[in-house]
Amino acid sequence: MNASANRELKLLGKSPEIAQVRKAIKRLAKYDASILIVGETGTDKAFIAEHIHLLSMHKDKPFVKIECGAIGDTLDPKVVFRLPQERTKPQTEGLVSADQGTVYLNRIDKLEPDFQDRLYNFWVTALSREEPAFSVRFISSALPAIEKLEKTGEFREDLLQMLSHFRISTPPLRRRKQDIPFLFDNILKEFSQTYNKSYDNTPEEIFQAIINYGWPGNVRELRNCVRNLVIMSPENNLDARHLPFYTKPDPLEFMSDYDLPTAVEEVEKFLIKKALTRYEGNQSKAARILAISEAALRYKMKKYGFPSAR
């Protein structure tokens, strides 16, 4: 594996959850058995599949990605499932084009029943002989809903078993929040270089926002978010307002668990302190800006223990 690919592999994160995925990648890359990668949208399933290929003994052979949802639409099924013996010339498309390498079937949960049958037949016809016509390794990906599709019979059980000699589960970003600042920093450096911008510090407000957000789109959404932040923020000044999901925190949120009398007292103490500081302890001016009498101010100062009360 080259240095660039190794660097990118490390960007997956440092949490125990992603460390387990990284361990599985290195271990399973040594074998030619099929692998199913299951995870939510945006959890780097394609990224993982490619790196398994790059770590395998077939790294110098083709890596062919096929979008299962596009078969029958923009991808001709006749080309995708053409058998080796049906080739009249070297094929640059379809399963056969990955001979000696890896086929990555993206989103097998989108594979229509008819195409499931054709893939199963392709496997049995081309790969299950004592002397197969050609050799290829399958790595597939699916959303977690694939389990339900198997139980309801919407996805062939025997085909799924063929495609999942081993399984890797990719954890969603919300389950490995300790990785978010690490990923954010690395993605920020990448897009800062891409768009020729420079940022010295990331405001704490941004870190709080990205940690508290649920990330339904996972790492892919995080990348899009950082790209938007870099493009929209001025030079040397990252602005949380350019986070697509950002809502300014309510300054009184910390009082949400207070009862009303306590909350009123906290607000009064805060405003009295600010007014006295602003006018260097001048109670007459402080009372005027607070719109109360000097007597009322002195009473409250005594009540709350302000040292200048007389």
- CATH number of the CATH domain containing 98: 3.40.50.300
| Residue 239 pLDDT | 83
Residues 44 and 74 in one domain: yes
Cβ neighbours of residue 283 closer than 8 Å, sequence gap 6 or more? 276, 294, 297, 298, 301, 308
Shared-domain flag, residues 167 and 212: no
- Domain membership of residue 310 (yes or no) is no
Residue 290's φ and ψ, nearest 5 degrees, are -85, -10
pLDDT the model gives residue 7: 44
Q: Whole-number mean pLDDT of the chain?
A: 86
User: Burial letters for 124-138: b for 16+ Cβ neighbours within 10 Å, e otherwise?
Assistant: eebbeeeeeeeebbb
Q: How confident is the model at residue 8 (pLDDT cuts 50, 70, 90)?
A: low
Question: Which contiguous run of DSSP H or E holds residue 174?
Answer: none
Q: Are residues 95 and 195 in the same domain?
A: no
Q: What local confidence, expressed as pLDDT, does residue 62 receive?
A: 92
96 and 131 inside one domain: yes
Structure confidence at residue 36 as a pLDDT band (50, 70, 90): very high
Q: How far is Cα 241 from Cα 206, in angstroms, rounded to an integer?
A: 9
Is the same domain home to 54 and 181? no
| Shared-domain flag, residues 181 and 165 | no
Distances, alpha carbon 53 to alpha carbons 19, 46, 98, 104, in Å:
19, 11, 12, 9
Please report the pLDDT score of residue 1 as a whole number.
43
* 167 in the same domain as 215: no
State the pLDDT at residue 2: 46
Question: What's the mean pLDDT in 218-236?
Answer: 88
In 146-164, which positions are buried (b, 16+ CB within 10 angstroms) versus exposed (e)? beebbeeeebbeebbebbb
pLDDT for residue 6? 46
The region, left, alpha or beta by phi > 0 then psi within -120 to 50, assigned to residue 42 is left
Q: How far, in whole angstroms, is CA 253 from its chain's centroid? A: 28
DSSP secondary structure code for residue 124 in this structure: I
Give a yes or no: residue 279 inside a domain.
yes
Phi then psi for residue 186, to 5 deg, are -70, -40
Of 124, 148, 171, the position where a domain reaches its end is: 171
Indicate the pLDDT class of residue 128, thresholds 50, 70 and 90.
low
Q: Give the three-state DSSP class for 131.
A: coil
Instruction: In whole angstroms, give the CA distance from residue 95 to residue 139.
Output: 12
Amino acid letter for position 279: Y
Instruction: Provide the residue range defining the domain that includes 128.
Output: 3-171
Shared domain for 70 and 209, answered yes or no, is no
Whether 158 and 40 map to the same domain: the answer is: yes
DSSP state letters, 191-251: HHHHTT---S---HHHHHHHHHS--TTHHHHHHHHHHHHHHHSPTT---GGGSTT--PPPT
Same domain, residue pair 237 and 160: no
Domain boundary among 171, 192, 212: 171
Q: What is the pLDDT of residue 199?
A: 80
Tell me the CATH number at 232: 1.10.8.60
Going across the sheet that includes 137-142, the strands are 63-67, 102-106, 137-142, 35-39, 166-170
In a domain, 247, yes or no: no
33 and 56 part of one domain: yes
Residue finishing a domain among 171, 201, 217: 171
Distance CA 62, CA 59 (A): 8
CA separation for the pair 69, 110 (Å, rounded): 5
- pLDDT higher than threshold 60 for residue 134: yes
- What is the pTM assigned to this prediction? 0.73
Question: Do 52 and 143 share a domain, yes or no?
Answer: yes
Give residue-wise pLDDT tens across range 74-117.
899 988 988 876 666 666 678 888 889 999 999 999 999 999 99
DSSP bridge partners of 169: 38
Number of domains in the chain: 3
pLDDT of residue 86: 66
CATH code, 297: 1.10.10.60
Whether residue 31 is predicted with pLDDT greater than 70 in this model: the reply is yes
Paired with 217 in beta bridges are none
